[in-house]
Structures are given as structure tokens and as C-alpha cells.
A and B are shown apart, each in its own frame.
Chain A
Amino acid sequence: MMYRTSTSVSISRAAISLIAALLLCVPASGQKLKLFKLQKDSIPLMRGFQVSFDAVGVVMMQIGDYGHYEGALRLNLHDQWFPIVELGYGKASHLNDEVTGLNYKTAAPYFKVGVDFNLMKNKHAPNRLYGGFRYAYTSYKVDLWRHDLPDPVWLWDTGFGVDDEPCSQHWLEAVFAVDAKIYGPLHLGWSVRYKRRIVHDEGIMGKTWYVPGYGICDDSNLGGTFNVIIDI
């Protein structure tokens, strides 16, 4: 059997809008860039780090067919700007679907980089509201198969599947998050994320079901995390 290599690439309108919004933020020459202005007070610029892990992915891994382990390192700049790197390992193992008989397996690392902005009026309060964005990327391989798929007309028993099909995806996330100080260095928080794919290669089978770090490729572009955070 011959396969055709098809690379589906789509440039999201959201990405274009984001670039346009950033361009609009660039001031005319001579003006100050207010977006990145820090509050004037005696608090130093470097306020430390936060490490965190996402509990949602772990719970999903335990109770469902897919999930992820994800940790993050966030730099605190003046309690106002928070550059962040998130590293994770996403995994899906959906075996012998009771309706379609399909099997789907993938597991791969992913990363997200971005920045959060503290939306609170009092930037130095112990609890924070964040708005931010992420750029994310993963390269993953998919095993997809069905044991028997008889041709309904010719009745040949046809094998359906791909093995180690290489795929990749770039995507953007708009983030809204809450972070509350619980005790000492311990914080708890959650985030809601609106995700849009910008470039994706889903191999010869046309589409993928689960993308590590992105989740299920369905109509819903929403995702989220529940974070356990430690101040360093």
C-alpha cells in the first residue's frame, strides 16, 4: 500500500491578530512604551522564582486515557511581570474504542514559554490575578491502528493504521490565572487557557486526536491547569 505524505499547515487568524495587536502597541518614536513600564516603588526588580506543577494533568492521566505531567519555572520581576517556562510530558493511550475499534497511542515532551502580567492594582499583594500568553511546541509520534477493517464491498480484510507517524505542532495560548498564597511559600492557583494552533503537521492520516501539551483536538479551544506553586 502506498501512502501519500500530506502536510497540513494552517496559519491561525488568532496569531495574525496577536501580531497586529503587538504592532499596535509599538509606540511612535520618542514615546515611552507604557506597556512594559514598572511601578515606581522601593521593591527591587528581582523578586525570586516560583516552581509549580499542574495537578489537572496528573488526575486526567489517572482517571482517563490521556493526561500530562507538567512543571513550570516562573521568574518574578517586581511582582508585575512573570516570564515563565513550562515543561511537560503528555501521554495518550486509548485502546480498542468500544464503538470504532480504534487504538491511539502517543507520548512526547513539550514546552511552553511566555509571560504573565499581574493584573492586581496592588502588585505586591500576596494573591495575584494574571493575564498572559504562551507559545508552545511539541514534536510527537503517533501509533494508530485497528486490527481488522473489512472492505464493505470487496470484503478484503484491510489493515488500518500507521506506526510511529511523525507529527508536530506550534500553538499559542491566552492565559487567565489566579494565584493565592496559602501558607508560607505555598500557593495554589488555577489557569484557564484559550488555545489556537498556528502550524501543525499531522502526518499522512490527516488528523491527530491527542497532542501532548495541547490536549484533545476537538471543537473546544479551552483548557486549564490547577497549580501547586512554591516560592523560592
Chain B
Amino acid sequence: MSNKTEICEKGRRRSESARRRGMLLTPFILLSSFMFLHILFSCSSIDCPVQNLVYTNYGLYKSSGVVDTLHDTLYVFSMKADGTDTTLFNRGINVTSFSLPISYTCPEDTLYFLRVGADDSFLLDTVWIKKENYPHFESVDCSASFFHKITAVRHSHNGLDSIIINHADVNYDVSNQHFRVYFKGGD
């Protein structure tokens, strides 16, 4: 009988001690939960790319494949939505490469390359760049943009010999040279 009472007493003590431990843990859990929620909400970080410009790079080459220097003055312009023109590249002298913007959603960009010689003679060429456009999204905190895939390029042949696509994907990676341009007279 006394053994039974002892066992019961031991059991009661054990459950009492477990209950106390539980009571101690409860405020700990609640406090840590609030701290945890605070950390959770304060840990969100905005991570927009530093380089967020999308443009195309053009490299000038001679037919032999070496880099060409254009001694004429080069202008590149295009027509805006309102019908007026906009200069994309102004007074390029002794250029070996240049960069131009690319339209957000036009299926084909039309560019005008004007090459003015030292004697004020000029050669005007039209360049049509066909492309696919797709929206690019990083986060709601970052500006929206469009990436592109160049599918074809054609042009007139007044001062231009040829333009070939070197890298078709146009995105935030501006280290790529997208076009190789061969002007006439660049042997």
C-alpha cells in the first residue's frame, strides 16, 4: 500500500515538474515568436540590378576582320511616335564602336545612318532591325524593362557594305557586341 502511494507521489511530482517546465517555456515561446516575427518582417531586401539599361552595341570592322576606324562623322537618328526625328548617336568622329538604344516593343526598328565626309558630302543609309520583344521583371520594387532577341537586320547600301548579327540577345549584359558593321571604303 505504502509502495503504491510512493509511486503515485513520484508520478505526481514528475507531472508537476513537467507542468512547471511547460509554464516556463510558454513565455519564452511567445517572446521569441514576437522577436521572430519582427526579424521576419525586417529582413526583406530590395535587390534590383545595378546595370538596368538595355541597349545595343555596334563594332566597326574592315572586310579583313580587323577593327575599322571611321574617319567620317557619323550620325544615327530615328523617327519618334509623333513623327519628329530623334538623334540616337551624334557627331561620331574616328569611332570604332558605338551604342544605340533599342525600342521597347516595335517589331522592327528603323534607324538612319548618316555619314558626313570632310568635304561635306554625305551618305545616308536606312537600317531595319527586326526583333522579338519580351517583358522582363525582377521585382515589384525594380523598374520594368524589355529584353529582345534580334532576328534579322537589313539595310540600304549607300555607305554601308554590310551589317551582321554577332549576338542576338539584348539584355542587361552590355558587354556583348550585338552587330558588326562594315562600311564601304574600310578595306
Contact = CB atoms under 8 A, between A and B. Distances in A.
Interface of A: 1-4, 6, 56, 59, 94, 97, 99-100, 102, 104, 125-127, 144, 146, 149, 151-162, 178, 180-182, 188-190, 192, 204-209, 216-220, 222-224, 226
A20 to B, nearest CB: 29
Contact of A188 (B21, B29, B139, B146): B29
B78 interface: yes
Given A1-B105, A209-B140, A161 B135 contact: yes
Contacts of A153: 78, 80, 86, 88, 101, 103
Closest 7 CB pairs of A and B: A205-B137, A180-B25, A2-B132, A158-B105, A151-B104, A158-B104, A155-B81
B82 interface: yes
B137 A151 contact: no
A97 B22 contact: no
A120 to B, nearest CB: 11
B144 A160 contact: yes
B141 A226 contact: no
Given A146-B144, A154-B81, A180-B25, A190 B136 contact: no
A151 B36 CA distance: 44
Contacts of A207: 137-139
B142 A182 contact: no
B78 A154 contact: yes
A190 B29 contact: yes
23 contacts: A2-B133, A3-B135, A4-B149, A126-B18, A126-B21, A127-B21, A127-B22, A127-B25, A149-B144, A153-B88, A154-B78, A154-B80, A154-B104, A154-B106, A156-B104, A160-B135, A178-B32, A188-B29, A189-B29, A206-B138, A207-B137, A222-B40, A224-B36
Contacts of A102: 137, 140, 144
B47 A219 contact: yes
Contacts of A125: 18, 21
B107 interface: yes
A220 B43 contact: yes
Contacts of B107: 1-2
B44 interface: yes
Interface in B18-42: 18, 21-22, 25-26, 28-30, 32-33, 36-37, 40
Main secondary structure of the interface of B (DSSP, over half): mixed
Contacts of A158: 104-105, 146
Contacts of B146: 158, 160
A156 B106 contact: yes
A218 B139 contact: yes
Interface residues of B, number: 46
Contacts of A216: 44
A99 B141 contact: yes
Interface in B122-151: 132-144, 146-147, 149
Contacts of B43: 220, 222
B29 to A, nearest CB: 5
B45 interface: yes
A126 B17 CA distance: 11
A15 B169 CA distance: 31
B128 to A, nearest CB: 14
A59 B18 CA distance: 31
Given A100-B144, A216-B44, 14 more contacts: A56-B40, A102-B137, A125-B21, A126-B18, A146-B144, A153-B78, A154-B81, A154-B86, A155-B80, A155-B82, A159-B105, A182-B26, A189-B29, A218-B45
